[in-house]
């Protein structure tokens, strides 16, 4: 209930409060649009990476595809969080749950990539060259930083660690794109087959760190920091 000090002489909501609500609604709409855009792009990126990675026998590219599909889960969690934003009580509950969901996704991805890349190294399994895979990774190096930056601004403005984690997932996707691109390029140019699984293993510390952070499910994002 709004106190007397917070009400206008006519008993309505203060203009400043109305302005804040309108601004928050605008941020929520922007956040939803960015999440839908990320969702659509990651479905394309994930399916393309899985297909081309499987055909080329590239663990790093397959892992990149799995990361893209996990980022779909991250975007869905972010959308769920945004839908609950205007209900303060429900917002806090959804914040904690969705942040843990994203955390589990990060950890699952880290375990998968480490195990598969380790198997490829021990078995000395060389990937074949994949020009389409290189193109997908190169495109993501361009697209993902733009999405991450825009989502970061919304996360900070709304004070949400769930949206922070989702933006960080998008930023990590950009780093993974660069790692995969480097691994595939070294294999294509010099035949360094071991560069691909090593590039995949190089992904895991960043991913595991974000997973642990997500499982802690801190409630707010007053001083957000991003990868």
Instruction: Give 49-98 pLDDT, tens digit per residue.
Output: 888 888 877 776 787 787 788 888 888 888 888 888 877 778 888 888 88
Does 150 score more than 90 pLDDT? yes
SS3 220: coil
What is the mean predicted confidence (pLDDT) over 21-50?
88
Position 146 confidence tier, pLDDT thresholds 50, 70, 90: very high
Mean pLDDT of the chain: 79
- The string of DSSP codes covering 126-186 is PPPP-HHHHHHHHHHHHHHHHHHHHHHHHHHHHT-HHHHHHHHHHHHHHHHHHHHHHHHHH
Does 14 score more than 60 pLDDT? no
SS3 115: helix
d(CA 190, CA 197) in angstroms, rounded, equals 15
Q: Which of 17-21, 146-150, 172-176, 219-223 has the highest mean pLDDT?
A: 146-150
Please tell me whether the overall predicted TM-score, pTM, comes out greater than 0.85 for this model.
no
What is the mean predicted confidence (pLDDT) over 141-156?
91
More confident residue, 145 or 21: 145
What is the mean predicted confidence (pLDDT) over 146-156?
91
Could you tell me the domains of the chain?
Answer: 21-216 (1.20.1510.10)
């Amino acid at each position: 209930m709004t106190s007397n000090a917070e009400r206008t002489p006519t008993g309505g909501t203060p203009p400043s409060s109305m302005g804040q609500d309108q601004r928050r609604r605008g941020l929520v709409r922007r956040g939803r649009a960015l999440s839908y855009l990320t969702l659509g792009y990651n479905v394309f990126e994930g399916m393309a990476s899985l297909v081309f990675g499987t055909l080329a026998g590239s663990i790093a590219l397959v892992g990149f595809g799995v990361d893209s599909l996990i980022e779909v889960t991250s975007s869905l969690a972010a959308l769920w969080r945004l839908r609950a934003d205007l209900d303060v009580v429900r917002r806090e509950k959804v914040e904690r749950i969705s942040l843990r969901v994203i955390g589990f996704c990060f950890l699952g991805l880290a375990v998968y990539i480490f195990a598969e890349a380790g198997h490829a190294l021990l078995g000395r399994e060389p990937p074949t060259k994949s020009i389409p895979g290189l193109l997908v990774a190169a495109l993501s190096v361009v697209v993902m930083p733009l999405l991450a930056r825009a989502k970061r601004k919304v996360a900070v403005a709304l004070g949400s660690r769930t949206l922070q984690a989702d933006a960080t997932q998008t930023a990590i996707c950009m780093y993974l794109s660069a790692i995969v691109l480097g691994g595939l390029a070294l294999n294509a140019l010099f035949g360094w087959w071991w560069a691909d699984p090593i590039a995949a293993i190089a992904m895991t510390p960043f991913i595991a760190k974000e997973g642990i952070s997500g499982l802690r499910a801190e409630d707010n994002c007053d001083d957000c920091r991003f990868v």
